[in-house]
Amino acid sequence: MTSHQHPPEKMMFQLTLRRRGISDQAVLRTMEEVPRELFVDEADRDGAYRDSALPIACGQTISQPFVVAYMTEQLQLQKQHRVLEIGTGSGYQAAVLSRLAGQVLTVERYRKLADTARARLEKLDCHNVEVMLGDGLNLPPNIGPFDRIIVTAAMEQIPENLIGRLEVGGILIAPVGPHQGVQTLTRLIRTEAGIERKELVEVRFVPALPGVAREL
């Protein structure tokens, strides 16, 4: 599917984002420009622009468009920002981030997903994105710091070593809660005085698991 073949779906996609409260024009423009149909399985391309999550390889999912737009908007991205993403998945969120930030490092524990996402991002000329196969819960100490951190898998709590990679003035956003069930999207801001925490909306994400997956 392309936006030229199915303009009503693309128009409804944008309208849904606006109706649900996405107002940042740069985010809306980026959501319009990134071809979501390239990041879903071929069998799901007709539904790529519906506001729902879709299954991808390795038992993972591509988040629904509203959640991608909402999390991106909450990051308040600027062109000079260096961003860390935990959970590359299909690469769709990284593609969105790449158009709004300076550099993006995205970490994926499944080799198959990392390799596929890297190829998609290269095809779309997202040259400011680095895809790393690794454990997002146990990153090498030399990675960081970052202006923004986004976690796209459910964490029962946000690890201190991840919070410690935030620059002063930096923002971290992650779904926090039980692996099975509903989580709360939580935003942390590092200030000179410490960490400001705000709970935002309820979401459902696949769990963030430790280690690099051996089988894929």
* The residue to which tokens 């107002």 are assigned: 23
- Active-site residue, from 23, 63, 90, 98: 63
Clarify whether 3 is annotated catalytic.
no
Number of Cα atoms under 13 Å in the Cβ half of residue 189: 10
Number of Cα atoms under 13 Å in the Cβ half of residue 142: 0
CA distance between the termini of the chain: 28
Do you know the residue count of the chain?
216
**What separation in angstroms does the CA of 20 have from each of 64, 158, 196?**
13, 27, 25
Query: Catalytic residues, which ones?
Result: 63
